[in-house]
Amino acid sequence: MTLPFPSRPLPALLVLSACLLAACGEQSDTAPSAAPGGGLPAMDAPLIVRLGHVAPLTGPQAHLGKDNENGARLAIDDLNAEGFQIGDKPARFELLGEDDQADPRQGTTVAQKLADSRVNAVIGHLNSGTTIPASRIYHDAGIVQVSPSATNPQYTRQGYAGAFRVFADDVQQGGALGAFAMKNLNARRIAIIDDRTAYGQGLADEFEKAAKAAGAEIVTREYTTDKATDFASILTKVKSTSADLLFYGGMDTQAGPMARQLKTLNLGIPMLFGDGGCTVEFHKLAGEGAEGHYCSLPGVPLEKMAGGTAFRDRYKAKFNTDIQLYAPYAYDAVRVVAEAMKKAGSTDRMKFLPELEQINYPGLTAQIAFDEKGDIKNGAVTLYQAKAGAWSPLETMGGDATP
Amino acid sequence: MTLPGDPKLRARLGIVLIGIALAVLPFVVGANFGNSWVRIIDFALLYVMLALGLNIVVGFAGLLDLGYIAFYAVGAYLYALLSSPHLATAFPAVFASAPAWSVWLVLPLGALVAGLFGVLLGTPTLKLRGDYLAIVTLGFGEIIRIFLNNLNAPLNLTNGPQGINNIQSAEIAGQSLGRSFELFGLQIPSVTAHYYFFLALTLLVIFICVRLQDSRLGRAWVAIREDELAARACGINTRNVKLLAFGLGATFGGVAGGLFAGFQGFVSPESFGLLESIMVLCMVVLGGMGHIAGVILGALLLALLPEVLRWGAAPVQQWLFGKVLVDPESLRLLLFGVALVLVMRWRPAGLWPSALRKRELAAHAEVA
Amino acid sequence: MDIFIQQIINGLVLGSIYALVALGYTMVYGILGLINFAHGEVVMIGALTALTAIGLLVPSGLPGPVVVLGGLLIAIPVCMAVGFSIERIAYRPLRNAPRLAPLITAIGVSIVLQQLAMMGWGRNYHTFPAILPTTPHQVFGAAITDLQILIVVTAAVLMAALLWLITRTRLGRAMRATSENPAVARLMGVDVDRVIAFTFVLGSALAAVAGVMVAANYSIAHYAMGFMLGLKAFTAAVLGGIGNVGGAMLGGLLLGIIESLGAGYIGDLTGGFLGSHYQDVFAFFVLILVLVFRPSGLMGEKVAERA
């Protein structure tokens, strides 16, 4: 773990106390005005690009937050190792990793902190619930924000020019899931469970719309929470409706045990869920109950992308753990920002924002281009099936999912 | 330098000095540490309001309330509904345009509605005491949160887990606090404007609390806290007095909630969980139950301490051990827990107990 | 009908787990009049310790139930030590403090244990190895596993043993005396400190058993699992009448069945207006009703007024 914020508070404190001891005039000005990218440093000094990264590093979603941060960190290390140049100058990327605890209030606090330190761009946040309130602060401060994983459509529909995401939103992914359920799984009677979080409910609602539009019947809509471990009673309810498919809107931490409990209840219908359950962890959590279920991930399978498997191996080597979920998207988010800066030859937001809007960059997870809202264009969604303890890709649904 | 001898004059001088300090605080902090610290102070002021409200229930009247954050939620959602396009989007037939009520209308309304909820909670729990009251209030807090989380169907009242976005900032004298503006040649950032707004309301809350404490009602609360039976025997209408405690305490929560919604621009049910209730309770108890200054201290400490730790933990470890042994995030919560245990062990009446409580506790200890 | 039976079985299994955890709450409350908020965390530590031990034992090739028993035998003393330390460090010094003080330390201890567990076991969910048979039996068209039967039986046996201990043994008499009036009990020659310490240790041993049961039934454990479970179990204890061992059992089973039936049927009964998203509301709502109309819980004695 590197320092989240090495230089600021302590020196400022020292300066302050120094000022109290001896009346100092200009010294106190140095701390706040040392903004990066101003071009003041000596001729050959590298251009410092500071990127903020925000995700929950404590609490129940900490493992995902750490994963995102690792993805972003890997991108930064790569950029520095490549000798990435911006405007003919070697650039040195720095990451300021912050913890928002998946709490909206903490989210705005760290957003303000990143705004204060005038980072060149922010990668994050992980959750929609923190991304949306934070986006207002970044917008006011004129900071570009690229979320690798927030899926709530609202985020990019607030009219903020600097808000982007490299991930299919709920509408895109829910639409693809709905089409898949009807076309490929031939589901006619679908039961839906969601975890009453912004993510789970949002995705489940969009799935319901898409499935209904395609002619499926939603036989029951049940609910759980993102902390629950016991799903016996709602699954029994699902059993009583003789559904032929169970859609779950939520994370792997519930989807896994739920798949297991399906089995103990003798309920042999397939489950379908979105990216939140599409993890390595799901197989561990579901055990032998994992086999045969379906999930979706935005983008194209890592194996099919140039450098995808290499990325997986390098990640494992560097952090000594497997990719949890969104690390490749966080990696892409950093790379796409760097690419826009390179094209603009500047780290100034006014200069690289137009480039980011126009970008067409071959990322790890997809060919990345943004529509006018800042959402990823033509967000492809890939469907996977659990086979022998791993997710094997079935089909990539390229999509004009956005209406 | 000599201080004036007259104690009254000295007190007045103290107040003036504190006033000046509070007035320049956001500029000093903002210039030296950045606006994020001003934002943290803004939140700390909200917590002061919350803690003072809870102090009426727990500290004055001695009723243990573990669901206090529900009133904060009620205030926040009321403000959100009346200052965002949500109602107009959800019920286009009823609301032709987005309601944009004046903050001077919404805040008192939020206080009133939260107060009503307080009485609503108080009524069935009048006969309960002690830990049972704690669990019922805890349940009440959770029920409110769950309803906020689920009232998006069949009628989309709260927009469910997605929360309500695009909430307008408070507007004072035609100036929205949501953007930075210029006043007397000074650039006032949004967080600083909010600071003064929150500070004014916090001072009002403190004033009300001080007046309440010395009032007939305040003494009746203390009487109930110490011995409900004896209080009733003295002719105190315990039912009304208790309901007033719940109602008034909730009022402050409602105001703080409204301010929170306008400040954040976004509310969602996850901001109003049980841990938040426990946090506010800790502020009251840690600072010193029933002692206004102590409660303010407790609120400031607990609201600021995690931030100080978050920002200071890594550099200090680096300096001490040459590397970071424990993630600052874990350390922050860990130290928070340890501090709770240690403070309760060595100063069970709080960091800054009132003189009266101290005497009472000493007397209790002798009896026991 | 088979669906209804299935829901009752679901409720019984869930309720037995609540009851096991609730026993720990109710014992401490019965003796000290103190909500041991950290009890849920002791359950969590029991579950994670057992999982670690089981993970080490699995390669030995012993049969599944023996491995689980081994994990349990390691988890129990660990939890006992944790429970003993909690009482010694956080509660004993505060016995004469204002009533809220130990509640606050309990919350503090809860946070500390959770963070320590996170440092020790990491942030990921830990899974239970597939060593127990999971093929369900058919009972009147409903499914139940061996493990679930075992959970219900264990809860019942432990409660009976506890009742026997409290009503029939010397130690139990000392516990009852302490619960009635510690000062007088002391005068009668009861070593109050030891009785209280014993209560905590015993409660923690039960927490270890509950932790292993939870981890085995749901096949998962992680550092944040204790809080919600503790809250529900505490609700169950209050529902049954806190301080009353039989009440904890009854409250646990009732809460489990209420949640199960509520989640299963309320949607149909209210025409879809209420649904399983209000599962937690039912639990708290029933609790509030019970407390308002019968404040001492279903089986509790009338609680004396405490200053």
DSSP-assigned beta bridge partners for residue A85: A90
Q: What pLDDT does residue A36 have?
A: 45
Tens of pLDDT, residue by residue over B294-326, are: 999 999 988 887 777 776 766 677 677 766 666
From A197, which residue of chain C is nearest by alpha-carbon distance?
C277
**B139, two tokens:** 């349940």
> Of A183-192, A274-283, B340-349, C198-207, where does mean pLDDT reach its minimum?
B340-349
**Cβ-Cβ contacts under 8 Å, A129 against chain B:** 163, 268, 270
Q: C-alpha A296: how far from its chain's center?
A: 15
> B193 to chain A nearest CA, in Å?
15
Residue B8 forms contact with C (CB below 8 Å): no
The structural domains of chain C, with segments of one domain joined by +, span: 13-235
The chains in contact with chain B, meaning 3 or more Cβ pairs closer than 8 Å, are: A, C
Q: What pLDDT does residue B358 have?
A: 62
Q: What is the DSSP string of C209-259?
A: HHHHHHHHHHSEE-TTSHHHHHHHHHHHHHHH-TT-HHHHHHHHHHHHHHH
> B57 to chain A nearest CA, in Å?
25
Using the beta-carbon criterion (under 8 Å), do A15 and B32 form an inter-chain contact? Answer: yes
- Whole-complex ipTM: 0.88
CB contact burial A248-266 (16+ within 10 A = b; e otherwise): bbbbbbbbbbbbbbbbbbe
Q: Judge if A243 and A313 occupy the same domain.
A: no
From B227, which residue of chain C is nearest by alpha-carbon distance?
C307
Choose the closest CB to A133 out of B190, B264, B307: B264
pLDDT (average), residues A279-305: 88
Q: Is the pLDDT of residue A209 over 50?
A: yes
Q: What percentage of residues in chain B have a pLDDT greater than 70?
A: 90
Residue A15 forms contact with B (CB below 8 Å): yes
| Counted domains in chain A | 2
Q: Is residue C140 exposed (0-12), middle (13-18) or buried (19+ Cβ within 10 Å)?
A: exposed
**Cβ-Cβ contacts under 8 Å, A261 against chain C:** 218
State the Cα–Cα distance between residues C216 and A264, nearest whole angstrom. 13
Residue B123, domain member (yes or no)? yes
DSSP-assigned beta bridge partners for residue C279: none
Q: Could you say which residues from 118 to 147 on chain A have a Cβ atom under 8 Å away from some Cβ of chain B?
A: 128-129, 132-133, 136, 140
**Contact between C199 and C29 (Cβ < 8 Å):** no
Confidence of residue B367 (pLDDT cuts 50, 70, 90): very low
Q: What is the DSSP string of B95-151?
A: -SS-----HHHHHHHHHHHHHHHHHHHHGGGTT--HHHHHHHHHHHHHHHHHHHHHT
**Cβ-Cβ contacts under 8 Å, B36 against chain A:** 109-110, 112-113, 115-116
The chains in contact with chain C, meaning 3 or more Cβ pairs closer than 8 Å, are: A, B
Q: What pLDDT does residue B241 have?
A: 92
In sequence order, which ranges of chain B are alpha helices (DSSP H)?
7-33, 35-55, 69-82, 86-90, 103-122, 130-150, 190-214, 216-226, 228-233, 238-264, 274-287, 292-321, 328-346, 355-367
Residue B342, domain member (yes or no)? no
Using the beta-carbon criterion (under 8 Å), do A129 and B165 form an inter-chain contact? Answer: no
Choose the closest CB to B266 out of A8, A57, A132: A132
Q: What count of other Cβ atoms lies within 10 Å of the Cβ of residue C285?
A: 16
State the Cα–Cα distance between residues A323 and A72, nearest whole angstrom. 12
Using the beta-carbon criterion (under 8 Å), do A239 and C280 form an inter-chain contact? Answer: no
Q: What percentage of residues in chain A have a pLDDT greater than 90?
A: 46
Q: What pLDDT does residue B207 have?
A: 95
> Of A1-15, A65-79, C106-120, C281-295, where does mean pLDDT reach its minimum?
A1-15
Residue A13, domain member (yes or no)? no
**A3, two tokens:** 């320092």
Using the beta-carbon criterion (under 8 Å), do C219 and A287 form an inter-chain contact? Answer: yes
State the Cα–Cα distance between residues A20 and B32, nearest whole angstrom. 13
| Counted domains in chain B | 1
**Cβ-Cβ contacts under 8 Å, B280 against chain C:** none
Q: What is the 3-state secondary structure (H, E, C) of C66-93?
A: HHHHHHHHHHHHHHHHHHHHHHHHHHHH
Amino acid at residue number B352: W
Average pLDDT for consecutive 10-residue bins of chain C (307 residues)? 88 93 88 85 95 90 88 95 93 80 83 89 83 81 88 92 91 89 88 92 93 90 87 86 86 92 83 78 81 76 45
Look up tokens 């000095």; give the residue.
Answer: B17
Q: What pLDDT does residue A101 have?
A: 83
Tens of pLDDT, residue by residue over A17-27, are: 444 443 343 33
pLDDT (average), residues B160-167: 88
**Contact between B70 and B141 (Cβ < 8 Å):** yes
Residue B20, domain member (yes or no)? no
Q: Is the pLDDT of residue A92 over 70?
A: yes
pLDDT (average), residues A211-219: 91
In sequence order, which ranges of B322-354 are alpha helices (DSSP H)?
328-346
Q: Could you tell me how many residues make up chain A?
A: 403
Q: Is the pLDDT of residue A10 over 50?
A: no
- CATH of residue A130's domain is 3.40.50.2300
Distances in whole angstroms, Cα of residue A290 to Cα of each of A121, A396, B19, B34, C59: 39, 21, 64, 49, 23
Q: Judge if A134 and A230 occupy the same domain.
A: no
In sequence order, which ranges of A303-384 are alpha helices (DSSP H)?
308-319, 327-344, 349-358
From A222, which residue of chain B is nearest by alpha-carbon distance?
B150
Domain residues for the domain of B55 are 32-301
Closest CA to B162 of A59, A154, A163: A154
Q: What pLDDT does residue B360 have?
A: 61
Residue B285 forms contact with C (CB below 8 Å): yes
Domain residues for the domain of A211 are 171-298+381-397
Q: What pLDDT does residue A58 have?
A: 74
**Cβ-Cβ contacts under 8 Å, C100 against chain B:** 58, 64, 285, 289
Q: Is the pLDDT of residue A15 over 50?
A: no
Q: What pLDDT does residue B357 have?
A: 62
> C291 to chain B nearest CA, in Å?
8
Tens of pLDDT, residue by residue over B66-122, are: 899 999 999 999 999 999 988 888 888 888 887 878 889 999 999 999 999 999 888
Q: What count of other Cβ atoms lies within 10 Å of the Cβ of residue B233?
A: 10
Closest CA to C90 of A69, B338, B298: B338
Q: Measure CA of the first residue to CA of the last residue in chain A; give whole Å.
A: 43
Q: Is the pLDDT of residue B368 over 60?
A: no
Going by C-beta distance under 8 Å and a sequence separation of 6 or more, which residues neighbour residue C164?
C172
Choose the closest CB to C125 out of A59, A281, A287: A281
Using the beta-carbon criterion (under 8 Å), do C281 and B147 form an inter-chain contact? Answer: yes
Residue B360, domain member (yes or no)? no
Question: What secondary structure letter does DSSP report for A390?
Answer: E
Q: Judge if A287 and A343 occupy the same domain.
A: no
Size of interface A-B (CB pairs under 8 A): 117
Tens of pLDDT, residue by residue over B27-72, are: 888 888 888 889 999 999 999 999 999 999 988 988 888 899 999 9
Higher pLDDT, C273 or B16: B16
Amino acid at residue number A338: A
Give just the sign of the alpha carbon dihedral B76, A64, B318, A315. Answer: negative
**Contact between A35 and B61 (Cβ < 8 Å):** no
Tens of pLDDT, residue by residue over B255-288, are: 999 999 999 888 999 889 888 888 898 888 888 8
Residue A22, domain member (yes or no)? no
**Contact between B49 and B203 (Cβ < 8 Å):** no
